[in-house]
Amino acid sequence: MNVLEIRDLSVDYLSGSGAVHAVADVSLDLRRGEILGLAGESGSGKSTLANAVARLLRPPAAITGGSVVHHRRDGGPVDVLKLGRKELRAFRWKELAVVFQSAMNALNPVSTVGAQIDDVLRVHAPDMPRKERTERTVELLQRVGISADRRRGYPHELSGGMRQRAAIAIALALNPEIIIMDEPTTALDVVVQREILHEIKALRQEYGFAVVFITHDLSLLMEISDRIAIMYAGRVVETGSAKALHRSPSHPYTLGLLRSFPRLHGPREELLGIPGTPPDLRSLPSGCAFHPRCRFAVEECSARRPALLPGVEGQVACLLNDDKGVLR
């Protein structure tokens, strides 16, 4: 059962020298209660995709096509991109919440942590009495491991990890069905990172929300996600369960990402990495955008762009995989 269906979504950055296709024809499903990992290098369009789904894009970015259908728990499907102003305000946070990249900047520095949970409740549940709102705030903070008296504290009085926890508590305020987490642990040290990941997993168990987890750290995704989608130059190039991707990546790019960090367990492998740099979105290579960096590229790769087709497991967009998994 999908809670969010993204179909052929395209986002352009309009600039003087023409449009830059940051996200091109992306189709992606988010199942109810799953953690979907979204990985890719910087500039691959993963954050833009997330912002488009949350309708948070600002000029010069603009959605040029596609649909984002949200299936509500009780009620029919709605296209998020077609919501009016009022409906959008109601949709936001109640159905879809966002945890931003660095909680350092995502919390209002002049407002207490408690007040930042409270104003969500006040807007979306105007009938809730003050006492209940305070109780809910305390409950949320305690749930993510912040003591109740901290609600009167300001963001600068909290450590980095605490701030990220506070941001998660704010996201949970209305019990949303979808939470987009845009690199929620990137600014944290590994130990805190681990704690936060465990926390997210535990909260997911408890509340049953679905997560879109964005990061460039594939090894981290392998651990936390149910399914993973790999993006390259604005397109999804491979999707599949975390296990399948880990065991047998079908796209050369996924293989490159997996082999760019050493494994601690298992047999020794050569560190491959990915040669070259991410492409310039203003002038993408012809055919498959990855072909100049691909070690398996054949002549046809520069001529024809592969479509995202069902592969052995999940989907893959690679000519070499059109009939069979070529990498193994």
- CA distances from residue 86 to 82, 83, 111, 181, 275 in whole angstroms, order as listed: 12, 8, 25, 24, 48
Binding flags for another protein, 37-76, as an x/- string (CB under 8 A): -----------------x-x--x-----------------
Distance (Å, whole) CA 128 – CA 186: 35
Contact set for another protein, span 140-169 (CB under 8 A): 154, 156
Total residues binding another protein (CB under 8 A): 30
Tell me: does residue 187 bind another protein (CB under 8 A): no
For residue 122, the SS3 value is helix
Tell me: does residue 111 bind another protein (CB under 8 A): yes
Distance (Å, whole) CA 139 – CA 141: 6
Tell me: does residue 31 bind another protein (CB under 8 A): no
Select from 4, 11, 170, 258 the one that contacts another protein (CB under 8 A).
Answer: 170
Residue keyed to tokens 């948070």: 56
Residue keyed to tokens 């003050």: 130
Select from 7, 32, 94, 259 the one that contacts another protein (CB under 8 A).
Answer: 94
Distance (Å, whole) CA 139 – CA 136: 5
List, as one string, the DSSP characters of 131-193: HHHHHHHHHHHHHTT--GGGGGS-GGGS-HHHHHHHHHHHHHTT--SEEEEESTTTTS-HHHH
Q: How many C-beta atoms lie closer than 10 Å to residue 258's C-beta?
A: 18
Select from 1, 110, 191, 264 the one that contacts another protein (CB under 8 A).
Answer: 110
Please report how close the Cβ of residue 287 comes to another protein at its closest, in angstroms.
36
Q: Which is nearer to another protein, 110 or 190 (CB)?
A: 110
Residue keyed to tokens 């992306």: 26
Q: Which is nearer to another protein, 106 or 319 (CB)?
A: 106
Q: Which is nearer to another protein, 100 or 232 (CB)?
A: 100
Q: Is residue 80 within 8 Å of residue 55, measured between CB atoms?
A: yes
Q: Which is nearer to another protein, 59 or 266 (CB)?
A: 59
Distance (Å, whole) CA 259 – CA 11: 30
Binding flags for another protein, 74-93, as an x/- string (CB under 8 A): --------------xxxxxx
Q: Which is nearer to another protein, 83 or 222 (CB)?
A: 83
Interface segment toward another protein; rule CB under 8 A; list 18-26, 68-76, 97-105, 199-207: 97-105
Is the dihedral angle over the CA atoms 32, 34, 35, 40 positive or is it negative? negative
Tell me: does residue 274 bind another protein (CB under 8 A): no
For residue 216, the SS3 value is coil
Q: Which is nearer to another protein, 93 or 253 (CB)?
A: 93
Tell me: does residue 98 bind another protein (CB under 8 A): yes
Tell me: does residue 185 bind another protein (CB under 8 A): no
Tell me: does residue 125 bind another protein (CB under 8 A): no
Q: Which is nearer to another protein, 123 or 284 (CB)?
A: 123
Q: Is residue 84 within 8 Å of residue 164, measured between CB atoms?
A: no
Q: Which is nearer to another protein, 108 or 286 (CB)?
A: 108
Tell me which residues touch another protein (CB under 8 A). Answer: 54, 56, 59, 88-94, 97-98, 100-102, 105-112, 119-120, 123-124, 154, 156, 170
